Structure 1
Amino acid sequence: MIKVIAVVGPTAVGKSDLAVEVALRMEERTGRRAEVINADSMQLYRGMDIGTAKLTEKERRGVPHHLFDVWEVTEAADVASYQAMARARVEECADRDVLPVLVGGSGLYVRAVLDHLNFPGTDPAIRARLEAELEEVGPGVLHTRLAEADPAAAGAILPGNGRRIVRALEVIELTGRPFTANLPDHTSFYPCLQIGLTAPRSELDERIDLRVDRMWDEGLLEEVRRLDALGLRRGRTASRALGYAQALAQLDGGLSETEARASTAQATRRFARRQESWFRRDPRVRWLPYDAPDLADRTLTLVDRALSGSWADPGRDEALVDVSTWVPGARPVMD
């Protein structure tokens, strides 16, 4: 029997809304409660609401949500710390016979909860030396070094992502092994059902563009101005978040509002492609179309079967849809 449901997929595809709907319907149908655990790394930050599309209390519709507003914007993201917090919430839910629904598009954070994933420690001296080198020579030089030591890691980390490059080099130096050697195969820590939402690329791009416009219209610039006063620029992670980096540039006069919106939309579309690629590689994800009129019912069908330990014969399973033609390389939802 599964212990966790996970709703995954690219940004702006509707994961949070589906999780709430499934939780409400599950309680209506079975009497068993479900609660949401956040797996979006940026929604862990206190005050980063508009730019992360964090659900409001009204939008949560009475469903308890966990691990929002945990970190200050000055703190660096720490997936090992998140793993400990999230697994504690999973166990606490299990003790109350509540089914946790893990929701988010931060692939490493999802895997940190669901899989046998251990994180090497950190060495302050090594980290400080690499960060000083990053400041001096820039991420490109360090990325070249990473490519020589671990080509697979360099291929997965963007050349401009200095924080991740430094971490990969630190792990290599600490362990004497490639960074990617510390990432296990897809072996579950918890029995889990993973539901992946997918959308045709053109439709997802349109949803992203609409979301970015809504962020500015709803007051992202004012939110960033408030967070700036609380030290946003000192935060190595939060200050680089999509939308927040562009809004800071707008406040500084480096970008016009039109340019800031366009830059955010473009960067978010690229990010969504990487999210799709990440989750596509996991053979356990059952993919469903984001706009199916009976999406919640299809999801609940999968949940019921997973909870009972039975999976339908794919040849007769009309509740599931093959969306492998929508996302290149995606696995059909049928087993």
Structure 2
Amino acid sequence: MKAYVLMGPTCVGKTESSLLLAEALKSEIISADSMQVYKYMDIGTAKPSLDKLRAVPHHMIDVALPTEEFSAGRFVAEAVPIIEELCKGGKHPVIAGGTGFYIRALSEGLFEGPEADWQLRQQLDSDEANCEGFLYNLLCYIDPVTALKIKQGDKRRIIRALEVIFKLGVPMSEAQKNTTPSVNCGFVKICLTRERTELYRMIEDRVDVMVHDGLFEEARVLFDMPLSKTTSRAIGYREAFSYFRGEVGRDEAVLNIKQATRRYAKRQMTWFRAEKDINWIDITGIFDPKKIYDKIISLTSTN
């Protein structure tokens, strides 16, 4: 049994297309969105409307509180039984979302590595403080394959990679080869893309709609909660929080949301381009969900 994975950058048109695909397959949708897992974060994460949620069963939405962290490991642990149950029932699961790490964890397996060694991390952090660039150069020497996947300024990921190497005694890139798919089914991966200028215009339009629909009011409720580190940094909310603290004006906060969302879309595309076995569908100039769905169907009919 195959699972269909519909991915793409934010605002590209995944939601409507995934609904039509799931309806055609008489199946259900598993959301692969690291922010839609949180309750009370509806407008800012562009969750499907109640009507859409009723039309097609959705999973992995509203499964965590904004005061707690939600990991890829938990996503896999909760999503896999749902996918397996759908497959046993003869249904093709539709996995839709823009969190590439969650999708990779399902299709290729999740490498969790050793537990955090805070003493080692502190030592590595100290080494970097004494000589800027030392840790990245060290990683390039020990594990150039992993180093190519990490930006030189991403100290957190560099330290984690070195931590894994020192704890396991092998390059992280070698250790990751031992992972196996989290779920026993085939995956048909589809990535929707648009010309960048068009996508950015759609992002700006969506942010305007979110603000009109009450994003700041929704964020105000969250502002008074003891949020997790992840939710406190969520795009749309952190900019609103900055406005609530008096650090920026409301108009500037809106502009900051648009800029942060554009940057996020760019990072998403960078991730997807590095993925394996993706079927790319350029939908530039196509805004009718039915026409996008038709392009998806024409591709899936050969898979």
> Shorter chain as normaliser: what TM range?
0.7 to 0.9
1:303 aligns with 2:296: no
The secondary structure found in structure 2 opposite 1:145 is: helix
Shift in Å, 1:138: 11
Give the letter aligned to residue 135 of structure 2: R
User: Are the counterparts in 1 of residues 128 and 135 from structure 2 also a CA contact under 8 Å?
Assistant: no
d(CA) in 1 for partners of 2:198, 2:52: 23
Give the letter aligned to residue 88 of structure 1: P
d(CA) in 1 for partners of 2:193, 2:124: 40
Give the aligned partner of residue 196 of structure 2: 201
TM-score normalised to structure 2 length: 0.84
Moved more, 143-152 or 293-302: 143-152
Give the aligned partner of residue 95 of structure 1: 88
Give the letter aligned to residue 296 of structure 2: T
Q: Which ranges of structure 2 fall in alignment gaps of 5 or more residues? A: none
Give the aligned partner of residue 50 of structure 2: 57
Deviation track 1:35-59 (CA, whole Å, cap 9, x = no partner) reads 0001111111111111111112113
Shift in Å, 1:221: 1.6
Give the CA RMSD over aligned residues. 3.2
d(CA) in 1 for partners of 2:7, 2:274: 13
1:264 aligns with 2:257: yes
Shift in Å, 1:196: 0.9
1:104 pairs with one of 73, 97, 107: 97
1:221 pairs with one of 216, 221, 224: 216
d(CA) in 1 for partners of 2:133, 2:40: 32
d(CA) in 2 for partners of 1:4, 1:288: 18
Structure 1 residues 149 and 102: CA distance shift in structure 2, 3 A: same
Shift in Å, 1:132: 11
d(CA) in 2 for partners of 1:160, 1:52: 28
The secondary structure found in structure 1 opposite 2:112 is: coil
- What pairs up with 1:38-49 in 2 under 5 angstroms? 38-49=31-42
Give the aligned partner of residue 279 of structure 1: 272
d(CA) in 1 for partners of 2:188, 2:13: 18
d(CA) in 1 for partners of 2:299, 2:152: 39
Shift in Å, 1:152: 5.8
d(CA) in 1 for partners of 2:180, 2:232: 33
User: Are the counterparts in 2 of residues 127 and 166 from structure 1 also a CA contact under 8 Å?
Assistant: no
- What pairs up with 1:167-178 in 2 under 5 angstroms? 167-178=160-171
1:36 aligns with 2:35: no
The secondary structure found in structure 1 opposite 2:272 is: helix
d(CA) in 1 for partners of 2:219, 2:150: 27
Aligned-residue sequence identity (percent) comes to 35
Moved more, 290-299 or 147-156: 147-156
User: Are the counterparts in 2 of residues 35 and 101 from structure 1 also a CA contact under 8 Å?
Assistant: yes
- What pairs up with 1:1-335 in 2 under 5 angstroms? 2-26=1-25, 33-60=26-53, 62-123=55-116, 126-127=117-118, 130=121, 145-146=135-136, 148-150=138-140, 156-157=149-150, 164=157, 167-184=160-177, 190-232=185-227, 235-290=228-283, 291=286, 294-306=291-303
Shift in Å, 1:112: 0.5
Structure 1 residues 248 and 154: CA distance shift in structure 2, 3 A: farther
The secondary structure found in structure 2 opposite 1:75 is: coil
d(CA) in 2 for partners of 1:223, 1:142: 41
User: Are the counterparts in 2 of residues 5 and 99 from structure 1 also a CA contact under 8 Å?
Assistant: yes
Q: Which ranges of structure 1 fall in alignment gaps of 5 or more residues? A: 27-32, 307-335
User: Are the counterparts in 2 of residues 6 and 192 from structure 1 also a CA contact under 8 Å?
Assistant: yes
Structure 1 residues 258 and 19: CA distance shift in structure 2, 3 A: same
d(CA) in 2 for partners of 1:292, 1:211: 14
User: Are the counterparts in 2 of residues 8 and 196 from structure 1 also a CA contact under 8 Å?
Assistant: yes
Give the letter aligned to residue 299 of structure 2: L
The secondary structure found in structure 2 opposite 1:98 is: coil
Give the letter aligned to residue 7 of structure 1: L
Give the letter aligned to residue 110 of structure 1: I
Deviation track 1:62-105 (CA, whole Å, cap 9, x = no partner) reads 10000111122122231112112111111111122222111111
User: Are the counterparts in 2 of residues 117 and 184 from structure 1 also a CA contact under 8 Å?
Assistant: no
d(CA) in 1 for partners of 2:158, 2:250: 30
d(CA) in 2 for partners of 1:186, 1:282: 16
